[in-house]
Structure 1
């Protein structure tokens, strides 16, 4: 991803910047607020979204407590609180790391894996407004989003 500000020759004019800002606000609203997927995940799993997020991060494989804290962008104490609760609920297991006993390894249980998959399923479902678009509009939107992603590289 390119975090550098646009150079003078790439800087947009005022009208382009205003239009891009409106579009970005609409896209952000659609993604972050439409249907409130975070609440849907929390309600479906009976967990805070932070706990569901931890399950989703662990779906790729076991992590040390330190690695999980980093992936959650959380401090060690809060991560411990989350993991303690998930252990109590039977969603994760915490064991001694096989290669270094100083570390604890957090692993999903089968129940935790199912909960993470359910959260992913809810979060991946497109909003109704998107499903109401025509195939041509969806193809245009996909082409534009692909161009935006490629422009970030």
Structure 2
């Protein structure tokens, strides 16, 4: 019974976030770019300068595709590539001020709670927050 209940809860969470209240299309439209590019920009804004390898690993893409993503972001003035100070073969990608502003815009859209969550009674919301914190390891 516990496995069935956990499975049902997991399916409900996935559906809530990825289907019923998915904000990815809204973010893509607002920033006029694909979600993988938004994701790369947000990673760089959150974690600071990253090597191309680190960014590739975080995005779970391959090197050529990461290069295309970074090329796009660089062409728009959202990131810049520099040589690694200790390894000239490596490139470091950093977010620009404009890129940080666009990442903040994306975060503002993504982080708006959906209406059903806002409609929960305060006690239920606090309990949900506690449970999710436990699941996240906080």
TM-score by length of 1: 0.82
Summarize the Cα distance change of 1:148–1:94 in structure 2 as closer, same or farther, 3 Å threshold: closer
2:23 aligned with 1:31: no
Check conservation: 1:37, 1:122, Cα contact below 8 A.
Answer: yes
Structure 1 window deviating more from structure 2 (23-32 vs 78-87): it is: 23-32
Instruction: Give the count of matched residue pairs.
Output: 137
Deviations 1:18-59 (A, max 9, x none): 222212111111121222211111111111000000001111
Match in the other structure for 2:59? 72
Q: Is 1:104 aligned to 2:91, yes or no?
A: yes
Structure-2 change in CA distance of 1:40 and 1:101 (3 Å): same
Report the secondary structure of 1:33's partner residue. helix
- Report whether the alignment pairs 1:145 with 2:132: yes
**Could you say which residue in structure 2 is the equivalent of 1:11?**
none
Aligned twin of 1:10:
none
Mapped to 2, the partners of 1:110 and 1:86 lie a distance apart of 13
Which residue is 2:68 aligned to? Answer: 81
Unaligned runs of 5+ in 2: none
Q: Compared with structure 1, are the counterparts of its residues 128 and 56 closer, same or farther at alpha carbon in structure 2 (3 Å cutoff)?
A: same
Q: What CA RMSD, in Å, does the superposition of the two structures yield over aligned residues?
A: 1.6
Which blocks of at least 5 consecutive residues in structure 1 are unaligned?
1-14
- TM-score (normalised: structure 2): 0.91
Of structures 1 and 2, the larger Rg is shown by 1
Q: Deviations over 1:79-134 (max 9, x none)?
A: 00101111111111111122221111111111111111111222221111100111
